[in-house]
Structure 1
């Protein structure tokens, strides 16, 4: 998964692959972590300075998504739906007070290269005892 420190000791993953491809552990972690980005934007604790032009992992990963709230909202909705479909008891925590600035509400269509990079990272970080709960 792609990670970047938003706050001290907090890592955030945003995957690009369909949520159905994720193991339970990665699905639940992304569902929990993704909301850190819109929450930071809602509090004004973000900067677009130095924002990468292309999807990346590591440093710059989170910054890449600060102006892609439309993508993040769609992604979060898909993650939430997949969690519920697998029978997980999750809460919906999308930030309520987000800026209306259209520059922050961009979408993102992952490139083949970005998807390959993301899948490679997921494979590297796959838990030894990965669980894949069937949709109910």
Structure 2
């Protein structure tokens, strides 16, 4: 319990975790039709780089640097109706570090453990 309280004190960012909706392409108008996203969690979190180095990959014809992060949610957070999975999105909406605000991360995995001090989600920045 002491470890979980200590972990909670480090959760200084505010995030929004959501699942993007399946949009479509309207052939008559020639435009993309975005679909509404499904909100899964909004609240405090700790967003911490997992590795200090970025890895460059070629995504289509654009070079992209992947940076890994660990996002820790309070242990007492109720799991959403559907478990987060790769492709879900995390937006940092508030942080003591103004450079973190606006950071968009993509979920790559979820870690579970009965002895963990927080609920951890692996994510990456694809900027």
**Larger Rg, first or second structure (1 or 2):** 2
TM-score band by shorter chain is: under 0.3
* TM value normalised by structure 1: 0.22
Q: Structure 1 or 2: larger strand share? A: 2
Q: Structure 1 or 2: larger helix share? A: 1
* TM value normalised by structure 2: 0.23
